[in-house]
Structure 1
Amino acid sequence: MVRLINNFTLLCRKTENGEEICSCDFRVNIYGCEHSELYVTSGWILAIMSILATIMASGLLIYLVKVRKQPFFLPASNERGWIRPKPMHSYHLLVIVYMALEAFHLIALEVELYPNVKAAELGNVLSMIFSSSAAILYTISIVYATPNVQFNENYELLCKKYGPNILLVDIIGILLFLLPVVTWFPLSSLTGEYADRNDIEAANYYYAAHYIAIVFWEVIYSMVLIYFWYKLMSVIKSYIKVIEDRNISSGVTSSSQVQSIKKSARNITTPVMAIFGGLLSQAIIYIIMISIH
């Protein structure tokens, strides 16, 4: 077991009384600082919660595929590309990837598994890299789940629109899938490399570049996600209006079809809001971290 304590992982300052107070960079080190016991206890609690979340998400994904007989991918068609996962399946996969890797990193910090700061930095960023890559699948699933129809102001179906360029969607999806791997991974590696050399200035430079890149990606991803979610919800809202008007004209007072569509819309909206809220919170935290490190 190796204690990752140096001028990068332990930030110390002197008080007016000459007493030295040290704070941990708890991303990569939870020992040797003023609140070390709190970090250790919190780390174990978060690790257990992450494991439970991984098990729950795995169970839900298995339930959808095995019990409900809902394949992971949408049916193949001329309007869908090669990458065509279903929204709920993609969300559960995202949770599994993030929580499993986060649990591993937290446990590794607790038992001091990492041999150096570079390894700890890479372990810390793995959950963000692969969960961000998995998040791309969720956005693509919304694109392909959106019906290629349009309505006029009276909620009348006009005509079928041209679908998305499936080749372009697949290419952009693959590029965005690989982007965190080819940018965040090297920047995180360089941060740890210079921290191990005790070159704190260079380590802080790559540290800032790393989290600026993450915040930039999160902002772009959030905008794209909200756009396609809004587009899908607009189609669903119009479709519900059409069904309700038909029910009124035919004297039907209730419709299980409408309730089913509304439930499906909620099943998509809830993960979108969870992802958006999580990314927004992360972005704010990362900006604060950059400013004080």
Structure 2
Amino acid sequence: MSETGVAPQFLADKDALAFEEQRQRRTFSFARLGFGLVGLVLFLVIWEIAAKIKNDPAILPTVPATAKTFWHYLFHKYPPVGGHTLVGHALTSTRRIVSGWAIGVVIGVALGGTMASVRVVRFMVDPIIEFLRPLPPLAFLPLLIVWQGINDAPKITLIGIGVTPILTIATVTALDAVPPELVQASRSLGASPLWSLLTVRLRAALPTIITGMRLAMGGAWTSVVAAELIASTSGLGYLINQAGQNLQMSLLLSGIVAIGIIGIFFDSLLRLLHRRTDPTSR
């Protein structure tokens, strides 16, 4: 076969195809980054124009004023007595987010996997999930404060309550969409139902589950900021609330910008994980 040149030609075509695919992905990434920067610049320009027209920093500060405030509070505490720097408030909110989100993901994936595998459990749990899903997690906050106080525990629990139904539904939907041929092939090779679930069905369902994780992360930020607005002495929600009460709009916007930066960071990590599990995605 090597004498006819068929195998070398096949390998050459395969390498060329892989190179072209990598080139297209790099081009797409550069274009995505470029257009993203253009969109960001346009947003900042519109913000600056609106601030100049309004000409009232107590309502809408300019972009340079907000950037100056953001930089200042990276190293200075707010409130000055007993407060934290902007980084400290951000780390507090991030710790709560990661803890509650991780708990919700684990419970949601485990519950969704059980529901997709055991029909009786699905019939029992599905009405509860459908009941909890439309409820805003913030509705549970007064109850959680009575039970757990105003420390980190009720905020983490609140985030978990919001994340769990999203991941449960995403997991059940993803597992139901796995082609039955894959499961049958694994079972014919001697895999048990549990082993087939862990190694075949969950692996095939991972891209959809990760999409659910991304959606849940956004909801988690909504929950924690709302909780910090109501019952907290630290965190970005607390910072935003205090700045708003004192009409420090540039600090308020700095807190919002910090949330956006952290959110983009975590979403980028989940996007990277999604691409690792689904090579066809971009």
Q: Scaled by the length of structure 1, what TM-score is found? A: 0.28
Q: Scaled by the length of structure 2, what TM-score is found? A: 0.29
More helix by share: 2
